[in-house]
Amino acid sequence: MNPRYGLRWPASYPLALVIAVLALVPVGVLMGLASDSAELFDAHNLKVLTNTLLLMFFTVLGSVVIGVPLALITAYVQVPWRKLWLIVLAAPLAIPSYIGAFTLYAAFGRGGEIQQLLGLPMPSVKGLAGATLVMTLYSYPFVMLTTRASLLSLDASLVNAARTLGMTVGVSLWRVVLPRVATGIAAGALLVALYTLSDFGTPAIMRLDTFTRVIFVEYNAFGLSQAAMLSLQLLVIVGLVLFLESRVRGSKERPGRHLTLWPSRGQKWLMVLVFAPVILLSIVLPLVVFGVWLMREGTGGFDFSYAWNSAHASFLAALVAVILAIPVAHAAIAGRAGRFMERLTYFGFGVPGIVMGTALVYVGLQLPFLYQTLGLLVLAYVLRFLPLAVGSVRSTAEGLDPSLVKAARLLGASPREAFQRITLPLTIRGMVAGAALVFLEAMRELPATLMLGPTGFETLATYLWRVYEAGYFGRAAIPGLLLVLMSALGLALMLSGERRAEFDVTGK
Amino acid sequence: MQRRAFLHNLAAVGAISCMPIFIQRSLAADGGAVSVDQLPKLEGDITLYLGRGEGGLYENVLEAIRKRNPKLNLKIRRGATAALANSIVAEAKAGVRRADVFWAVDSGAIGLVSDAGLARPLPADLTSQLKPGFQYPQWAPVTGRIRTLPYNTDRLTPEQIPESVMALADSDLSIGWAPAYASFQSFITAMRLLEGEKATEAWLRGVSRQATNYAGELGVVMAVERGEVDLGFANHYYTLRLKNGKPNAKVDLAFTKNDAGCLVNASGILALSDGDLPINFIRYLLTKEVQAYLASEAYEIPLANGVKPPQGLPALDTISPPKVDLTQLADLRPTLNLMRRVGVL
């Protein structure tokens, strides 16, 4: 950076370093815990590993099969209400996958809601196939959005050249367009893989023994060291996926005119027919099931304090995350060492909630003043979702023209005044956006909340889980709908532009 | 009405061997249990660890206690019974105590905690409110339950169900179970004690090939009723509750003979901290109001003196539960290890 400061650490470094080290605490704790464990790997473990990898593989495959064509359609095909279609197709992101799993599980199968309402016998949704279906339905938008962003950065003239040389539209899309967005697809696919690995609710409801589900079983038997061992194994896979993600580089092309395709009437109907089931299953079905339950059972059992608890804990997490994000983001801009520290805090995002929970329960037992306190739960949220805040804060801070600060300094402002009067007002937007994202992610977080919440502290997510476990499905309607609403707000925020860069992993 | 006696082979803590105990149900003896009106008001902070599994009914009891005692600040931590028992022990090891009272759906979990020396003694005037044979110095059984085989009446006739639970591993029936549920784990513990480790392991392997997992035993009974599976393993009351809400439900109860399949177990409560409040809290659960409520609404077997058992229980004198010391059910760890090894947990 500035040569004059070449040897001096930027002011943000010490704080950022502390925060980065804090982000690594869960891993250290798990290693210590796992070292007590007798079983490193056994036959059941192998089955768990196989299930986890199969679920990941099939979910990624399904997401690519659905996501890439949808990306092509939303990017290039001219249909009425394009913006609306994009929002509808991205909307599954607004539904936590455990809600989807819960409602699909309740709707299908013998005696499920569909059979009760329509009298049609339905196959049940469970196991590997069921979990793959649910995870695909709720994670294909990752692939769709990253691929779409890559597609929009392409120049149409290559396709036009291919067309004049005699290729059909289909072949030119396949041979000229798709190879150039391979990195976009890969980025989305890796996000899907990460999401699938860390998801707890879906495998649990679909009764598929993946790492997350088995870790929860071990935790319930208080086999903490066994849970830690499994957590570390899961983290190795997560680390591998994160590593692959960091290798994905976008190729930059000179921007040009987008390709535009004009479908015939028949083609439009075909598209609707092919993709309507996706939306029906992922969005319409959960909302209808909740609606049915709401009408049948009313609002019984629901206490407004659950929503308040959710909001309260999430708000604290958002606040703390943004405060911690500021030094990290500034360190990341200041130099290479800072960027490394920032990378370390990203680790938490890859740590599944169930793993974070396991580690922090143990931390709590060692530090009784933290055990079963709101503080520990908030810490778990912060460690997990800090990268969301860092990303938002950094992207606005990067956009800040450094000459403005220099000008202020030249005019006699102290570094502190320059920060307060120039940097802060110009980056507040990113902070608010980052805080909102942390807030909404914390609202829908389930496993860590189950493990770490204070006694008597029921949130929307934990209440939903409790009625699921007790079999009082009808009572899930209100918390379920509220969670969907909250997540929808988060999605709106993402699509509103602040977060576009987050999905466009391939480049700025 | 009919006078029924039902045989339990439960042994008191400290008893040298198991001894059969007759529990008389007498319509005349309705004055044994204490009424809530006779109890002191509860005041102050108390934390209850509640092993869930009973859905809304225990919640209703706790809500009623809260309403009656506005100065009581009752905090409830809910979780799987085994998980909470393990947490209490782990917390004690780490020098942390959060729970004042532990209400478990299963006496195995209770035993796990009292074996760790964490239970506080109960006064004699409290334990004497319980039926003979259910008076323990360190914990109070709240209600009794019997392991049963709920079966789908469309798919099976009673004759098709083996009399021995062990024979189920060799049958071709499809089975629903909830291995994570504490009562199920106690049932496996009992099998381990009665049949040995090896036979239990083989049984688990055999049954797991034809079994479907459910999160809880209400889920098991509902799946049996829907015909998703032929029969299941569940405590008796889930089936009675389902039949109460849905009289034409296609489910009925079968009992095995003299093995773990018809184990009699009890939910129980113990105090983890000193003082009157935990003890007085426990007294509320043994009142005739609460006991009668749990019997009539939850179809559990009341254990306080002079409270009537629930309607719809089959002729219990035809049931022959195994001879298992309830306190031995606390030996949960080998059961969990076994279940984990087989891969059913």
Residues A388 and A473 in one domain: yes
Residues 6+ apart with CB under 8 A from B238: B150, B217, B218, B220, B221
Residues B243 and B304 in one domain: no
Extract the tokens encoding B32.
């044994």
Rounded Cα gap, residues A211 and A230, in angstroms: 7
Among the partner-chain residues B52, B96, B216, the one whose CB lies closest to the CB of A365 is: B96
Residues A81 and A144 in one domain: yes
| DSSP, res B141 | E
Mean pLDDT of all residues in A298-324: 89
A 10 A CB-CB count for B8 gives: 21
Residues 6+ apart with CB under 8 A from A275: A66, A70, A89
| DSSP, res A252 | P
Extract the tokens encoding B302.
């009341």
- On whether the CB atoms of residues A326 and A1 are closer than 8 A, the answer is no
DSSP calls for A275-321: HHHHHIIIIIHHHHHHHHHHHHHTTTT--HHHHHHHHHHHHHHHHHH
- On whether the CB atoms of residues B178 and B144 are closer than 8 A, the answer is no
- On whether the CB atoms of residues B102 and B84 are closer than 8 A, the answer is yes
Residues B125 and B157 in one domain: no
Closest Cα in chain A, distance from residue B223 (Å): 9
Q: Does residue B12 register a pLDDT over 50?
A: no
- For residue A466, list chain B residues with Cβ-Cβ distance below 8 A: 52, 78
Q: Does residue A309 register a pLDDT over 90?
A: yes
What residues does A33 pair with on adjacent strands?
none
CA B47 to centroid of chain Cα atoms: 21
DSSP calls for B90-127: HHHHTT----SEEEESSHHHHHHHHHTT-PPPPPHHHH
Rounded Cα gap, residues A436 and A340, in angstroms: 25
CB contact under 8 A, B75 and A109: no
Residues A247 and A359 in one domain: no
Q: Is B235 exposed, middle or buried (0-12, 13-18, 19+ CB in 10 A)?
A: buried
A 10 A CB-CB count for A261 gives: 15
What are the pLDDT digits (tens) for A142-197? 899 889 888 888 888 888 888 898 888 888 888 888 888 888 898 889 889 988 99
Name the least confident of A51-60, A412-421, B2-11, B115-124.
B2-11
Q: What is the pLDDT of residue B73?
A: 94
Do the domain assignments include residue A10?
A: no
Residues B168 and B188 in one domain: yes
A 10 A CB-CB count for A273 gives: 9
Residues A475 and A350 in one domain: yes
Among B180, B170, B262, B265, residue whose Cα is nearest residue B215: B180
CB contact under 8 A, A365 and B216: no
Do the domain assignments include residue A287?
A: no
Residues B40 and B104 in one domain: yes
Percentage of residues in chain A having pLDDT higher than 70: 92
- For residue A301, list chain B residues with Cβ-Cβ distance below 8 A: 56
Q: Is A102 in CB contact (< 8 Å) with chain B? A: no
Residues B167 and B51 in one domain: no
Residues B250 and B278 in one domain: no
Residues A447 and A333 in one domain: yes
Q: What is the pLDDT of residue B7?
A: 30
What are the pLDDT digits (tens) for B66-92? 999 999 999 999 888 878 888 898 889
Q: What is the pLDDT of residue B99?
A: 93
Q: What is the pLDDT of residue B230?
A: 94
3-state secondary structure of A242: helix
pLDDT-based confidence at A67, cuts 50/70/90?
very high
| DSSP, res A258 | P
Residues A218 and A354 in one domain: no
Residues A221 and A326 in one domain: no
Among B100, B30, B54, B10, residue whose Cα is nearest residue B218: B54
Do the domain assignments include residue A232?
A: yes
Residues B206 and B133 in one domain: no
Do the domain assignments include residue B184?
A: yes
Residues A466 and A363 in one domain: yes
Q: How far from B76 is each of A5, B59, B82, B102, CA to CA, in Å?
A: 56, 10, 16, 10
Alpha helices (H) along A299-423: 304-334, 336-350, 353-366, 374-398, 402-410, 415-418
C-alpha neighbours within 13 Å on the C-beta side of residue B72:
23
3-state secondary structure of B157: coil
Do the domain assignments include residue B7?
A: no
**b/e string for A434-468 if b means 16 or more Cβ within 10 A?**
bbbbbbbbbbbbbbbbbbbbbebbbbbbbbbbbbb
Q: Is A255 exposed, middle or buried (0-12, 13-18, 19+ CB in 10 A)?
A: exposed
Residues A326 and A257 in one domain: no
Interface probe for B, chosen from A102, A220, A225 (most Cβ of B below 10 Å), is A220
Do the domain assignments include residue B11?
A: no
Q: End-to-end alpha-carbon separation of chain B, Å?
A: 45
Residues B160 and B240 in one domain: yes
Q: What is the pLDDT of residue B226?
A: 86
Do the domain assignments include residue A272?
A: yes
pLDDT-based confidence at B16, cuts 50/70/90?
very low
A 10 A CB-CB count for A397 gives: 19
Residues A180 and A304 in one domain: no
3-state secondary structure of B313: coil
Rounded Cα gap, residues A464 and A310, in angstroms: 12
Do the domain assignments include residue A14?
A: no
CB contact under 8 A, A221 and B216: no
Q: What is the pLDDT of residue B55?
A: 57
Do the domain assignments include residue A118?
A: no
Mean pLDDT of all residues in A320-339: 87
The radius of gyration of chain A's CA atoms, rounded to the nearest angstrom, is: 24
Do the domain assignments include residue B17?
A: no
Do the domain assignments include residue A456?
A: yes
Q: How many domains does chain A have?
A: 2
CATH number of the domain bearing residue B42: 3.40.190.10
- For residue A36, list chain B residues with Cβ-Cβ distance below 8 A: none
Q: How far from A275 is each of A65, A70, A284, B129, B231, CA to CA, in Å?
A: 11, 8, 13, 66, 40
pLDDT-based confidence at A496, cuts 50/70/90?
low
Q: How many domains does chain B have?
A: 2
Name the least confident of A118-127, A430-439, A476-485, B278-287.
A118-127
Residues B69 and B126 in one domain: yes
Strand blocks (E) in chain B: 5-8, 21-24, 44-51, 72-79, 101-104, 140-152, 175-177, 211-213, 231-232, 234-235, 251-254, 264-271, 301-302
Containing structural domain, residue A146 = 32-96+127-277
Residues B67 and B101 in one domain: yes
Question: Residue A268 is which amino acid?
Answer: K
Q: Kindly identify which residue of chain A lies nearest to residue B80, measuring between CA atoms.
A: A220
Residue that the structure tokens 């009539």 belong to? B296
Do the domain assignments include residue B277?
A: yes
Do the domain assignments include residue A350?
A: yes
Residues B105 and B87 in one domain: yes
Containing structural domain, residue B211 = 145-263+334-342
- On whether the CB atoms of residues A457 and A372 are closer than 8 A, the answer is no
Mean pLDDT of all residues in B134-161: 91
CATH number of the domain bearing residue A39: 1.10.3720.10
Do the domain assignments include residue B325?
A: no
Mean pLDDT of all residues in A326-349: 83
**b/e string for A3-22 if b means 16 or more Cβ within 10 A?**
eeeeeeebebbebbbebbeb
Do the domain assignments include residue B9?
A: no
Extract the tokens encoding A51.
């299930």
Residues A372 and A339 in one domain: yes
pLDDT-based confidence at B56, cuts 50/70/90?
low
Q: Does residue A498 register a pLDDT over 70?
A: no
Extract the tokens encoding A425.
């007002």
Residue where a domain stops, chosen among A277, A310, A339: A277
Among the partner-chain residues B52, B78, B336, the one whose CB lies closest to the CB of A221 is: B336
Q: What is the pLDDT of residue A8?
A: 65
Largest CA distance in chain B: 57
Mean pLDDT of all residues in B166-185: 89
Alpha helices (H) along A35-120: 43-76, 82-90, 97-107, 113-118
Residues A165 and A239 in one domain: yes
Q: Kindly identify which residue of chain B lies nearest to residue A47, measuring between CA atoms.
A: B343
Closest Cα in chain A, distance from residue B2 (Å): 35
Name the least confident of A35-44, A446-455, B193-202, B214-223.
A35-44
What are the pLDDT digits (tens) for A47-56? 889 999 999 9
Closest Cα in chain B, distance from residue A25 (Å): 19
Q: At what angle do helices A97-107 and A127-152 cross, to 10 degrees?
A: 130
Residues B286 and B187 in one domain: no
**Interface confidence (ipTM) of the complex:** 0.73
Answer with the residue of higher pLDDT: B5 or A291: A291
Give the dihedral sign, CA A464/A466/A471/A472. Answer: negative
Do the domain assignments include residue B3?
A: no
Percentage of residues in chain B having pLDDT higher than 90: 39
Q: What is the pLDDT of residue A130?
A: 93
